[in-house]
Amino acid sequence: MEISNTILHYSHNILRWALLIAGFLAIYLAFTGVNGKRTWESKDNKAGMWFVLFCHLQLLLGFILYFYLGKYTMFSDMATNMKDPEIRYWGMEHLLGNIIAVALIQYGRIASKKAATDLAKHRKALIWFTVGLLILLVNIPWPWTKISAAIFPGM
């Protein structure tokens, strides 16, 4: 079980970078689409698709880590767990923040595909992808943050 836990953690960490690259690309294309008033093209659709795909894969890996292998399950003793900053972060803040972010990104993909005009498609993608990515960026345990000390010892 320890090997699968390590593999899942590394996969979750590496996939973060693919997700961020796809997110920044999708936002860049949406921004240039709004700014240049260009048509919605296949590359715009594919960028949004890859962004959402990586978000869903990341969320799936996170759920597996949380519910199957995780030691930070909030629901066992919520009153006590909310007082511990590390358990609260991993068990509540990281989990719920990322679920909300992925939901907003998914909504942006759906809304951009259903929009009537090309400009509206780009605008919806730009707004919702940016809000979702900002929430993801805040919820990532970066090496310089206090909460990531257990993941990145010595930093």
User: What would the pLDDT profile of 55-99 be if each residue is shown by its tens digit?
Assistant: 999 999 988 888 776 665 656 666 776 777 777 777 778 889 999
| 128 part of a folded domain | yes
The mean pLDDT value for 108-132 works out to 97
- Give the global pTM: 0.85
Mean pLDDT of the chain: 86
Which parts of 16-95 are beta strand (E)? none
72: in domain? yes
> How many whole angstroms separate alpha carbon 104 and alpha carbon 66?
21
Supply the CATH number for residue 109's domain. Answer: 1.20.120
> What does the pLDDT read at residue 71?
60
In a domain, 155, yes or no: no
Neighbour count for residue 5 (Cβ, 10 Å): 15
Residue 28 forms part of a structural domain: yes
For residue 19, give every residue at least 6 positions away whose Cβ sits within 8 Å of its Cβ, in sequence order, or none: 51, 54, 55, 58, 136
Amino acid at 110: I
Give a yes or no: residue 100 inside a domain: yes
Report the C-alpha gap between 124 and 109 in whole angstroms: 8
Q: Report how many domains make up the chain.
A: 1
The boundaries of the domain holding residue 98 are: 2-150
